[in-house]
Structure formats: C-alpha cells, structure tokens
Amino acid sequence: MTDLVALSFKEEALKSMNIPVQEYFLPKQILNASLQGPGSIPRELLLYGLQLMISEKGFNYKGQYFASLDAHNSPVETGFENSDWHRMQFVGCLLGGAIGDAFGAPVEFMKRSAILQQYGNNGIEDFAEAYGKVGAITDDTQMTLFTTEGLLRAWVKGCFTGVTSELGCIGHAYQRWYQTQGHTSPRNLDVTTDGYLWEQTELHSQRAPGNTCLSALAEMTSFTAPAQNNSKGCGGVMRVAPIGLYCWRLKNQFTVEDCFALGADAARLTHGHPTGYLASGAFAAIIYQILDGCSLASACMSVLDILGKMRCHDETTLKIATAIKLSRDPMPSYRAIEYLGEGWIAEEALAISIYCVLQASSFKELMSMSVSHDGDSDSTGAIAGNIWGALYGFRDFPTQWVENVELEDRINEIACDLYDFPLWDIGADSQNTDLNNIAQTRYPGT
C-alpha cells in the first residue's frame, strides 16, 4: 500500500534535487529502470517527458523512471516490465477520469456556443474554476472512488471471512457516498461509515449529484437490489471504470463477460433502464479488454459481440457502432459529437467518449474535444479520460493538471491499491499482523 505519486520533472527540477543529468546513449524504445539512491538520468529522457513514480519515502529512497518516444506505442510491446506498465494504466485510468471530470465541471451546463464565446474558438483548454476552486472534481469522480472502495472492501472481506459479494460491497459504498452528500440512508440498511474514503473530508461535498442516483439510493431495499426506476441517465456508466480494472486484475476469476455483468449490475443499483446498465457493462468490459492488450476499436468490437446476446441492447449497440464509424469520417469533431448526442444518457456519454478517444491525437486535445459541447461535459470528459489513461497510462498528462486536480494524491494511492491488492499478504491465515490491521482499517470488509 505504498503511497505512489506520479510526477513529471524538467531538467531544472532534477538539478535542484542534486540528481545529475548526463549525455549518453538511450535506446530508441521505452525504458524501465530502478534507481537505488541518487542516480544520473540520461538527458534524452527529458526531451520526451520524464515520468517518475516516487515512493512515500522519497526519490532518494527508491523510485522508478519511465519515458516514451511515442506516447501512443504500448510499452508492453517495447520493453516495459508488464507490471510497471499495468500499474501506469491503473493510475492513468483513474487519474485521467478525474482530470476529465474537473475539465468538464466548469462547462457542464453550458451550450457549445457559450463555451466558445467564453474560452475561445477551440473550446476550454485548461482547468477553470468550479465549485470555488480550480481542478475541482464532481460526483462522477466521487462515485468512481466509492466504486473502487467497494471492490477493495469486498476483497478484504473475502480474505478474512472466505465469502464476499462485490456487488453488495459496492452498494454499501454507494450508501456511504450518499451520506457524504448530506442524506440519511434508509433505515432498513445497516450502513457503516468508516474506512479510508469516509475520512477524506473533501469528499463530503455536494458537486451536482445526479437526481437519479440520490432517489435510487434513498429507496434502496438492500445493497444488491436493482433500482425500481426506468432511468438510463449516465450516472451509472460514468462510475464503473474501476470494475474493468478489478476484474482484469482477477482475470483468473473474471472473464470479460463476468466483468460486463458486474458493471451492469453495479449501474443497475441506481439506473433501471436496460440501456442505462448495459452501456455501463459495456464500458467496464472495454476497460478490461484494453488492459488485456486490445486497441479501443478492437475492445469495442468485442463488446458489441457481448451486447448482441443481451435483451434490449439495440440503443447501446447502435451508439457504439456509430461512434466507431464517425471516427473514420472527415466531418468536424464537434459535428460528430452533435450527431451522437449530448451525453446526458448512458449510451450517448459512452459513445461520445469513445469517439473522442479515437479522434484525439493527444490528451490535451482529448480534454478540450470531450467537454466543449452541449451536454454533460464532466461525464464525457471523465469517461474519455478513463479510457485514455487505460490505453496510454499517464505519460502525456500535463504536469500542471496532475498537480492541480483535486485529490490527486488520494486518487493515485487508491489506484495503486487497486493494482496491488491481490499481492497483499492478508487474511485469517496471514502472519502479517501489521498489514492485516492496515487493510481492515483502510478497507473494512463491509
């Protein structure tokens, strides 16, 4: 459970840390190297954006550096240790979603014409103030984090009791989130308010929570009961990326079809329309497939096969297929997004995000494209950021965005926990008392 922080350093910053920068040959491939104590760094790395992962004890204790000549080439193919690269994907997925959420927050309820008038012809291109701060996240990231927490608590519970329910622990986590929004859980539910996320006071903030989520959680009869409504809003799909990560990490236990089912069931806790939860299952499965080495287009085609076996899949299938088709069309991106919709409903939010990732040539371009439209900008930005981070890690995230997005350090930490949890030596048979105590305090098995 090391507290890892992703940073991007320029040469001046490295010199200020007394880390020498030297001229020597760098193979034209992605590098992975461990640094034990102070070490030198090849200057060529700095030309392409050095990424460091620093342990909580500091760079001089232990760290790793990563660099890429092409941010769009998979490191798995060119020299990274797989474990290092997959950790970057996990961090990139959750952090990219948070950055996209914060990027869209200031313009969520604005028309595209108003966005262009206020921010220029390219749309919004940097963080702007929302909820009284620059880089503020919304309910999208809040609920994504509580989804992650539910999954980790399910794992801890299984380690100590031998039985667990991912869906039940996710439902319980959503009730904790519901209480952070100033509401009281239904009396029939025994909700515990403890653990790592509950202690984060910044999460006890109302950031335009969706009415469907609030009403469904107010009426929840059990932690696994599907919502009794007919909503297909995007409040289900925008929060399930961690399910794709978790299921892939346990792919000896979860097939991509299992991942789809859990993603759909988690969304169905609040959104009862088939399109609302099928789009969510599709998104979780797309993340799973990306982690398994698929391109986004290939992941989408695989998920379309799964969708084709489901009842009432037509709306979701059509939107995903249309997004792929439009990505090959020369029409301006804003016109294609208009054709796909505004993102307030699940299949539109997913389709817009897929289209934008397929079209964008950089993370910066993705952020502007995915939020500068009529509609639910923070949700499309969040989903697009999740997908981009899963595909490419965090290598081309601008340093200032990483540093300024709200809860960056906590998001990094929980993303690393989501990658590391299968390796934790915890449970009834573990002799590691300290780690057992940490796990049960951080992610109590409820």
Least confident span in 15-29, 252-266, 295-309, 398-412 = 15-29
pLDDT number for residue 368: 98
Assigned fold of 83-423: ADP-ribosylglycohydrolase fold (1.10.4080)
Question: Residues 294, 286: contact at Cβ < 8 Å?
Answer: no
In this predicted model, what pLDDT tens digit does every residue of 198-218 receive, in sequence order? 999 999 999 999 999 999 999
In this predicted model, what pLDDT tens digit does every residue of 371-381 receive, in sequence order? 999 999 999 99
- Better-scored residue on pLDDT, 361 or 53: 361
In this predicted model, what pLDDT tens digit does every residue of 54-102 receive, in sequence order? 333 333 222 333 333 233 333 333 334 577 889 999 999 999 999 999 9
Task: Find the largest Cα–Cα distance for the chain.
Answer: 66
Question: Residues 208, 130: contact at Cβ < 8 Å?
Answer: no
Domain boundaries, the chain: 5-69, 83-423
Task: State the average pLDDT over residues 423-439.
Answer: 95
Percent of the chain with pLDDT over 70: 82
Is the pLDDT reported for residue 34 higher than 70? no
pLDDT number for residue 334: 96
The token duo for 2 is 């090391």
- Better-scored residue on pLDDT, 420 or 29: 420
- Better-scored residue on pLDDT, 445 or 424: 424
Task: State the average pLDDT over residues 281-290.
Answer: 98
Is residue 113 part of an annotated ligand binding site? no
Unique residue bearing structure tokens 């997925």: 93
Is residue 316 part of an annotated ligand binding site? no
In this predicted model, what pLDDT tens digit does every residue of 109-142 receive, in sequence order? 999 999 999 999 999 999 999 999 999 999 999 9
pLDDT band of 285, cuts 50, 70, 90: very high
Three-state secondary structure of 79-143: CCCHHHHHHHHHHHHHHHHHHHHHHHHHHCCCCHHHHHHHHCCCCCCCCCEECCEECCCCHHHHH
pLDDT number for residue 81: 54
- Better-scored residue on pLDDT, 75 or 293: 293
Instruction: Work out the mean pLDDT of the chain and round it to a whole number.
Output: 86
Report the distance separating Cα 279 and Cα 423, nearest Å: 31
Unique residue bearing structure tokens 């859980």: 185
Is the pLDDT reported for residue 392 higher than 60? yes
pLDDT number for residue 73: 33
pLDDT band of 6, cuts 50, 70, 90: very low
Is the pLDDT reported for residue 35 higher than 50? no
Task: State the average pLDDT over residues 358-370.
Answer: 97
Is the pLDDT reported for residue 395 higher than 60? yes
Is residue 140 part of an annotated ligand binding site? yes
pLDDT number for residue 83: 75
Is residue 101 part of an annotated ligand binding site? no
pLDDT number for residue 380: 98
- Better-scored residue on pLDDT, 94 or 41: 94
Is the pLDDT reported for residue 400 higher than 80? yes
Is residue 138 part of an annotated ligand binding site? yes
Q: Taking the chain, what is the end-to-end CA distance rounded to the nearest angstrom?
A: 19
Name the burial class of residue 204, with classes exposed (0-12), middle (13-18) and buried (19+) by CB atoms within 10 angstroms of its CB: middle
Unique residue bearing structure tokens 């034990």: 36
Least confident span in 41-45, 315-319, 350-354, 372-376 = 41-45
What amino acid is encoded at 97 in this protein?
A: G
Compute CA distances 126 → 106, 135, 142, 332, 392, whole Å.
11, 9, 21, 21, 20
pLDDT number for residue 445: 84
Q: How far is CA 110 from the centre of its chain?
A: 24
Q: How far is CA 234 from the centre of its chain?
A: 15
Task: State the average pLDDT over residues 191-198.
Answer: 97
What amino acid is encoded at 208 in this protein?
A: A
Phi, psi for residue 427 in degrees, rounded to 5: 125, 180
Percent of the chain with pLDDT over 90: 80
Q: At what angle do helices 274-291 and 296-307 cross, to 10 degrees?
A: 140
Is residue 379 part of an annotated ligand binding site? yes
